[in-house]
Structure 1
Amino acid sequence: MATRIALLALVPMLLLAAAGGLWLRAQMHHSLLGSFEQVLREKAQRVGARLHPGPQGELREATGGADEFSAIYAGWYWRAQQGREVIRSRSLWDMDSLPIDARPVRGSAALHLSTGPLQEPLLALTLPISLGQPPAEVALTVYGPAAQLQDNMRQIDRTLLLAGGLLMVLAGLLAWLQVRVGLAPLRRLEALLTALRAPHGAGPDVAQHLAAPTGRDLQPLQNELAGLLAHNAHVVARARAHAVDLNHALKKPLALLSAQASAQTQVSSAEVRRQVEAMAQLVDRYQARTLSDALHAHPGAAGQAVDVRECAAQVLRMMQRLHADQALDWALEDVAPDPLLWRGERADLEEVLGNLLDNAGKWAASRVRLALSVEGSAEQAMLCLDIEDDGPGMTAEQLQAAGQRGVRFDESVQGSGLGLAIASQIAQAYGGRLHLHKSTGLRGLGVRLEMRGLVHGPVRGSSGRTG
């Protein structure tokens, strides 16, 4: 990226500097050549004023004072030709003519390169003049020394080349500085991400680690990366928890089968079938939870909105059949607005209600109450499920330890010790929480479950009633 940015900055600048330098060189050369051409024209006019036709029509030069054309091989020369008749300046001495390049000098359409008697470089300008009556056409060529002019032009070229080189070096340094400063936030973000992969890393708090400032421009990307990494860490943690839960849940039926096989030479097929069916149900249950986690990773894949009332009533009826021998009073209190629709997986809602109600049914003496309510503003509304029983409840120490995986306070009651942990995990997956407390109404255990995902208004295609 640094190379591309530097090239994108330097290549256009190099092209512009080269084009500008060539244009400036051409303009300065043209100016110098134009000035020299003007000098030659003025001298040609002065020489032409001294020429006149003689008595026989021949060319003659009026006598006058000495000038730059008088000294032999002085560098300034002129030559006039009329037909085959030629006269020349005294400075040419015995040379009849000087070689002239047929092509004009680059930058001037009138000047031509020539070589003087001493092999010095000259610039020549040829002008037509008219003499006498009737007018006779005379070609007058004036030569001037070009060495100083060529030195000046070469000095201009060197100056422009040096200035262009310095400009490019300066531009390169500025581009390097710009890339270093501009990409510094990316390097800081790269360092933060590299630290995450270090042996000790940033620990579980990935979001706090990535909260270190890297630059205002990259802050949105940094926040998204922090959220993505935190979400991925949460998904991995849930996947590990699923494996631990399934392992823990399968141990009990396997232990029972192993104990019976050790105590008896033969185990009844009915018992084996019952334990195998229990294990199959556990596998299906955790497979459904794994699918639910996959949908959490892609919220757009969530299904239709769930009618909470209908789902709660169905689970409550199932609990009544499951605990029919206890003759419990199962009550559903509904103070939530109508309709009560929740955007989530029905299997998650059924599982969390099933775990909590089943746990209440195991410990209740005579009554279990389920209350539905909604709290918070419309944008931050939380679905609240309150489950209470009139059982013995829990001590403060037990309330603090409750919810840990596999923790059970009474081995005489059937269970795996995972119900509260699973319910808490599902609540957290939907941005909520699980809170245990002593029931104020029934004096037993009270469980409050809060989850986000309420749908406001009727949803097309939702199950259950819509208002």
Structure 2
Amino acid sequence: MAAARPKRVSSLTLRVLAVSTLWAVIALIAVGLIINTLYRQGTERGFRELLRAHLYNVVNSVWINGEGELRGEPEFGDLRYSQPATGWYWVVEPIEGSNSPPKSSISLGGRSLDRPSQEEISFNALYERAYDVVDPFGNDVVVMETEVELNDEGRVARFRVTGNRDAVEADVAEFTNQLTIALVIFGVASLFVNAGAILIGLRPLDSVRRALESIRTGKSSSLNDEFPREIAPLAGEVNALIDTNRRVVERARMQVGNLAHSLKTPLAVLLNESKGMTSEHGDLVRNQAETMQRQVQTYLDRARIVAQSGSILARTEAEPAFERLIRVMRRLNPNLAFELSVKPKGVWIALEQHDLEEIGGNLLDNAAKFARSRIKVSLAVGAVAPARPDDGPSDGWLTLVVEDDGPGLTADQMAEAVKRGRRLDESKPGTGLGLSIVDEIAREYHGVLRLTQSPLGGLRAEVTLPAIKEAASRLRLRS
């Protein structure tokens, strides 16, 4: 079994913010390490210079008298040289021409310090050398050493000054803490500034989205706003696509109209001629001509519906359309009570107004023929259309239900009722095309017509049609 691919981040804003944040974190860490390294190097260099200054202070403060004894005490003004076991010491040791005992700071307590051989660490050109040792008290100290001839008699002494490395480490640690706090504050502030800059930079995309929503809801026919140079070509291509779609729809409508007019006259002539023919041949010609008329009208309707259903501008607000239909039906059927329920208010449907009125008018007309006293109409938006006939859009669906309290139909009669030209009750006026037209229009818009028994006692006609996506989204938010 193939391994599942990781889910990618779908938000452009999150992608840009994630990449910029990752880069900012890496950059701040690198800058912090570089600054910390440079500060350590500078601190250690300053530490050695301080020890060198103390070393030559000792050299200038200690001398040898005529008896070969070491004399003098350096003045540092630093209490660490007078406190025991601090790691800050000075030592003067005679090497040649004197038997005097070595002199050292009070902090060393008369103890000695280890020293490497000259083969291990040699003197530089100034006859100085620096090295690290551990003092008798366990402190890690840095030693600065030199050898100086004290007089003209060739008496030489070794001078050593030490400093505790903890002073360097403490200084570097304090600086590191302060640097970390500063970089964290700067990094967090930079993330907010960066996020704001990204949101401001991507704001034109929100303008494009709102403009497209206006087009989908029929409030606008094109992207008319002024967009930045990077987005302007996209807006131009979208406008070109909308214009092309509009021209295709208009051309299809014109061709449908031309075809209807070109066939209307020949069929009318055939029907008129059939009246003058013998009854048997006249009936045959008349029946065939009427069949031709119905078939032509059927496919013309389908062509018109396909052209309109493919248009991104096909949309109608459902509630006002049905309010108009019900007002007409109330005037035509004063003996019937009509009820209308729409949830949520202001829902739009992705159909041309003519097609929506065709569906509603046929369903209401069919219900009015058989209803005894009551017809109930309801419209509601749902997330998915159950048992739809094909793979149509599924972002939002409007369910239209028309019920009556008439005699109703059996299951077999329901199946026959949607067939074109089938009339189950010859006593009622009509052509038998109403429910078949509803079924055909619904299918062309990826919807479906279902007939069931109504709780009112009569027929329940349910049509599922695509609603505008925004209406379904608003419904989900409210729930």
Tell me the TM-score range normalised by the shorter chain: 0.3 to 0.5
TM-score, normalized by length of structure 1? 0.44
TM-score, normalized by length of structure 2? 0.43
